[in-house]
Structure 1
Amino acid sequence: MPEATKRRTAKRASEVEDRAADAVFAAVLPVVDGIAATFGRKCEVVLHDYRKEDHSVIAVSGNVTGREVGSPMSSIGLALRRQGDAAESDLNYVTRTPDGRVIKSSTILLRTPDQHVVGALCINFEVTELRALGRLVGELAGELETPDAPTTTFSKDIESVIETVITEIEDELGHPVSRLTISERTEVFRMLDERGIFQVRRAIPLVAERLGLSRATVYNYISRSREESDPQVP
């Protein structure tokens, strides 16, 4: 098949997929305000379009995480997006914001009729006061306290999301990523890749700067970590 014909075929397929995705978002959009109104001021509903890698939020109702239209997805969303069509919705998980508020969330993936993941409907409900009340009741009933929730940063810009993920990895390592040993570097790149960071084009220069590496070296480590994770990768 001639190259020009291949390009036209690919373009038509992309246009069909885009129309299918647009139809999904048009159908889900009225639900955003409805859910938020039902559960009140402690609830926030966010609609993400995964085709917009670093500004995926296309609708918001409520204000729990402070995001707005044009904000990026969180590290949780990036990790799900990286899994592509194999990803599954993440329901009823609990995280904590950097300022200490506890959020119970569900990330419901949105698919076209061909089962391609194109976005997500995220429901965030602040349960800080409910958890405090629950602990009080638990103490009175002699129950043990539940484990703490992991911290998740919700941001209005993708740079903050990337910086937060790097900081989390530094905490796991116990030292700054600028002081990585050679043996640690591939593992760090594997961790960053698993969390979906390298789906964002602007991540490469940011990671390169934080690690004190050239962009070419960053690309090299990404390839190496993927080859070690999956030897079948060419």
Structure 2
Amino acid sequence: MSSELNAERDAILAALTPVVDGIAATFGPVCEVVLHDYRNPEKSVVAVAGSVTGRTAGGAMSEIGMRVLARGDEASDELNYVTRTRNGTLVKSSTMVLRDSTGAVFGALCVNVDVGAVTQVHGLLGALAGIGAQPAELPTTTFGNDIDSVVDALFDAHQSRQRGSWAELDRAERLELFGGLDARGVFAVRGAVEQVAARLGISRASAYTYLSQARAAHDTSTGGSA
């Protein structure tokens, strides 16, 4: 990548840094705004205001960021989606990707709003009105300043859907595990292959082999390269 393009990306991030504080100040303590630079996934948070998910500057990207990273330049904005943090906080979020002048995705501006209090009030009013409908089950998302914890959470989520331990899985199921993790952006993180191999109790070489085969199977099924 050219130094001019890197300078352009740095300038975009610098221009957005005061916007982070401005948005958070406008919406108050229920709002958190996070600015990400995906050139450094392990320390992607370059600016943060608010504390809905406990992010800090220098922290790692979340599962959402890893998903954006996996999609590369095909990534698009994800607006007004609702999820839960691992401690149960109900969060409404928007993730807006950042592109340079070539159209390449290199970061994101994320807004997280704690809607738990609003939901509680809504539930109370619904109960008083006799319409106490239960909210739909929401996915749990890992927000962490440590990229290893995010990789572990994604690994655990995928493994929980498997029918048994690694030794009990057939080849197709093993490829599905690696393909699923790859689609979520796990292996875009430095050292993730080794981390997953350690969790599975297999060698680094075996992990790379399964990853390569999973990618080849995906390319064959889609008729092109990912």
Normalised TM-score (structure 1): 0.89
Query: How far did residue 172 of structure 1 move?
Result: 1.9
Residue 202 (structure 1) aligned to one of 191, 196, 203: 191
Question: Which consecutive residues of structure 1, in runs of 5 or more, have no partner in the other structure?
Answer: 1-12
Residue 153 (structure 1) aligned to one of 117, 136, 142: 142
Residue 102 (structure 2) aligned to one of 114, 125, 129: 114
Contact kept in structure 2, 1:47 and 1:120, CA below 8 Å? yes
Aligned residues: 222
Residues 202-233 of structure 1 show CA distances to partners (whole Å, capped at 9, x for unaligned) of 10110010111111111111111111111244
Residue 229 (structure 1) aligned to one of 218, 222, 225: 218
1:43-82 aligned at under 5 Å gives the runs 43-82=31-70
- What percentage of aligned pairs have identical amino acids? 45
Question: Does residue 1:218 correspond to 2:176, yes or no?
Answer: no
Question: Does residue 1:36 correspond to 2:24, yes or no?
Answer: yes
Instruction: Decide whether aligned partners of structure 1 residues 59 and 86 sit closer, same or farther in structure 2, where only a CA change above 3 A counts.
Output: same
Question: Does residue 1:95 correspond to 2:47, yes or no?
Answer: no
State the partner residue of 2:177: 188
Contact kept in structure 2, 1:178 and 1:212, CA below 8 Å? no
Normalised TM-score (structure 2): 0.92
Residues 81-140 of structure 1 show CA distances to partners (whole Å, capped at 9, x for unaligned) of 111111101111111011111011011111112211110001111011111222223342
Distance 2:126 2:133 in 1: 7
State the partner residue of 1:6: none
Structural RMSD (CA): 1.7
Distance 1:57 1:184 in 2: 34
Distance 2:34 2:149 in 1: 18
Instruction: Decide whether aligned partners of structure 1 residues 82 and 39 sit closer, same or farther in structure 2, where only a CA change above 3 A counts.
Output: same
State the partner residue of 2:2: 14
Question: Which consecutive residues of structure 2, in runs of 5 or more, have no partner in the other structure?
Answer: none
Instruction: Decide whether aligned partners of structure 1 residues 26 and 135 sit closer, same or farther in structure 2, where only a CA change above 3 A counts.
Output: same
Contact kept in structure 1, 2:162 and 2:173, CA below 8 Å? no
